[in-house]
Amino acid sequence: MSDDAASHNAMHVLVEKTVLMLALILVALNLAGWMKKREFKYFGETAMYITVGLVTSLVFRLLSLAIGQEFILKDVQLSTSFFYMVLLPPIIFEGGYSVHRMLFFKSLPTILGLAFAGGAFSTIVIAIVMYLAMSVTDLPLSMIEALIFGALISSTDPVTILAMLPPETDRTLYMIIFGESALNDAVAIILYRFFSDLEHLGKALTAGQFFLSLLASAWVFVGSFATGVVTAWIFAKLIKHQRLTHEAETYEVTMMLVFAYSSYLLAEVFGLTGIISVFFTGVTMAHYAKPNMTASSALIAKNMLRVFSTMCDCFIFMYLGMGLLAFPAAKYMPYAIVAAIFAIAAGRLHVFMVFSAQNLVKAAKKIPFSQQVFVWFSGLRGAVAFALAVQILDNHDLAEDVRTMIFGTAIIVIVTTVYGLNLLTPIMIDKLGIATPPPVSRTATATPHADGTVGGGADMGTHDLAADSDVNDQDSEPINEAELTGFLGWLYRFDRDKLRPFLTTSVDLRRITGSGGASREAPQGLMTVGAYTKLSDGIHMHDLTGDDDVVASGKTPAPAVAAVQPVQATANVMANRTAPGLFSLGESDADVLSPRSDKGERAAR
C-alpha cells in the first residue's frame, strides 16, 4: 500500500471515529438532560456518560466477535497529549473561573491541608497496601510501581457528588470538597511524574528522595500559582486599557481563551503543572478581568466555558466507559481491585486528621463530625485519574503485565466509585443530616423576583458555589473585615486598595447621575463600571466580596444604598431578564451585565 493510500485510510478512520464520538456525545447529553428533568436521585450525569461508553464498547465487542476480529484497547485509546492539551484545560479553567472566590480563600488553609498533606498521605497508604497485597502473588509490584499507582489513584473528582447536594448544604462544606479536588489533581500529577522519573532513572527510593518529592510539589505549586496569576493580570490590564467598542465580544473572549491556554502551556514548558496554573488563571481573570469586559463578552465567555467543560467531561467519561471492555484482563486483577478499594478507603483517613487540626486552631468554627465523614466519603475518582491511567500505558519503563494491571485496576476503581457513590450519596446525605437549613439572613428574606413577587433567596440554591456562577459569583452578605485577620486580612486590604484600582476599570460615582438624568444617591469613592451599571439599572448593589465591588472606597456601602428600589425603566428591563432580584448578589444570564457595558462606558466618559 502506498503512503498516499495509507494516509487516506488513516484519515478515513479518524473521520469515522470523530463522527461516532459526536453522535455519542449527542446521545449522552440528551440522556443526561432527560435524567435531570426527571430528577433522578441515584444516577448522575457522570454515571450516564460512562454507561453510554460502556454500552458502545459492548456493541463493538459483540460485532468484533461476530466477524472474527479482536476488539483491543488501541481501538479506543486516546493519546496522552490529547488528554492533557485538549480535554483537561477547559474543565479546570471553567472550575477556577466560576469558583466562589472569597469562600475559597477563606477555606484555603483547610483545602491546602487536604490537598497536599492528604495527597501525600493517601499516596503512601495506597502504595503500602498495594505493595503488600501484590507481594503474595506472581505479579509483585516494586515500591516505586506501587507509589506510581498510589499517586495515580489519589486524584479525586467529586463533581457528581457536589451536583447531588441539596441547596441547604453548608457552603463551606461544598467549597472544601471542591477545593480539595481542584488542588489534589495537581498533587497527584506532580507525585506521579516524580515517581515515574525515579523508575525511568532506575533510582532506589529513599526517605530523602521522598522528602525531595514533597519539596518539589510545594515549589511546583508556587510556580504554577504565580504563572497563572501573572498571566491573568496581564490580560486584565490589557482589557482595561484597550476599550474595544467594535466587535469587542470576539476579541475579548478570544484573548481570554488564548491567555488561559498560554498559562497552561507556559507552566508545562517551565516544568510546572498546567492544571494549577490554568485554575488560578480562571480565579484571577474572574476577579480582575471580567469587570473590564463588555457585558456581552462576559456572558458569552461564561456560557462558552460551560459548553467546553461539559463536552470535555462527557468525552472523557464516555471514553472511560469504552475502555472498560477493551483491555485484556490481567492476572490477579480482581485481587488488585479489592485491595485498591480498601486502600483508597484507608487513604482518605487523612480527612479526619486535617479537620481535627483545624478544629483545634479554630475552636469557634469547628467542622462537625458528620461533615468530616461526608468529605471522607466524597473521594470519587474521575478525569485526572483516568488521564494518568492512560499515560501509564505509554510508560515502557514498566513491564507490560504491570502496565495492564495498573490501567485495568484504575479504570475499574474509577467506575466503581462513580456508580457506587452515585447510589450511596443520597443515603449518606440523609443519614448524616447534611441538608441542614442555614439561618435566614435579612437580605435573603425579601428578594424581589423578575415577575414582581417577593421571596427568599434559598430557592436559588446556596450550595452551587463552584459550578453555577449564576448564583454564586459573590457572597450574599456584606463582608465583615474584622473577621479577616492575619494574612487573609492583609491580602483583602491590599487587593481592595492597590490591585483592583490598578487592574480594574473604575469610575467616580460622585460624578454620575441615575437613569433619565435624575440624580441618585451613591456611596462615595470609586466603583467598577460594571458595578455602577448594575446600580444604575436598578438591579442591585454589590458588596465587597464579588467581581464588581467597590474598589477604592475603603468601606462597605451603606445598606440603604443596597436597597434602592427599581425605577419604572428598571422594571421594564427586569421583566425581560431572569435576574434573581435586588438583594441577590448572584449572576444570572442577564444579571451578568455587571461588566463594562456601553451604558457604563458612556457614564464613565
| Shared-domain flag, residues 428 and 449 | no
Whether residue 469 sits in one domain with residue 381: no
Within this chain, do residues 455 and 380 fall inside the same structural domain, yes or no? no
Looking at 401, 432, 463, the residue that finishes a domain is 432
Quick check: is 498 in a domain? Answer: no
In 3-state terms, what secondary structure has residue 202? coil
User: Which residue pairs, CB below 8 angstroms and at least 24 apart, start in 351-358?
Assistant: 351/114, 351/118, 351/375, 351/376, 352/376, 353/117, 353/121, 354/110, 354/113, 354/114, 354/117, 354/118, 355/110, 357/113, 358/109, 358/110, 358/113
Q: Do 422 and 528 share a structural domain?
A: no
Residue 409: inside a domain: yes
| Residues 365, 460 within the same domain | no
pLDDT of residue 76: 57
11 within domain boundaries? no
Same domain? 382 vs 456: no
Contact 465, 103 (CB under 8 A): yes
User: Alpha-carbon distance 369 to 355, whole Å?
Assistant: 9
Alpha-carbon distance of 31 to 15, in angstroms, equals 24
pLDDT of the residue at 483: 64
- Residue 317 CA: distances (Å) to CA of 276, 305, 313, 351, 373: 22, 18, 6, 27, 27
Query: 346 and 399: one domain?
Result: yes
- Specify whether 128 is located in the same domain as 80: yes
Extract the residue ranges of the chain whose pLDDT is less than 70: 1-8, 13, 68-79, 160, 203-204, 244-246, 326-332, 435-485, 506-605
Tell me the CATH number at 211.
Answer: 1.20.1530.20
Residue 25 lies in a domain: no
Question: Does residue 9 belong to any structural domain of this protein?
Answer: no
Domain co-membership, 384 together with 460? no
Asked whether residue 321 is domain-assigned, the answer is yes
Q: Is residue 8 part of a domain?
A: no
If asked whether residues 399 and 542 sit together in one domain, one would say no
386 and 414 co-located in one domain: yes
Three-class DSSP category at 508? strand
Residues 6+ apart with CB under 8 A from 450: 574, 575, 577, 578, 579, 581
Helix (H, G, I), strand (E, B) or coil at 454: strand
| Residue 287 shares a structural domain with residue 152 | yes
**Structural domain includes residue 357:** yes
pTM for the model stands at 0.74
Residue 471, domain extent: 445-479+505-604
pLDDT value at position 536? 39
Residue 474 CA to chain centroid, in angstroms? 17
**What domain count does the chain have?**
2
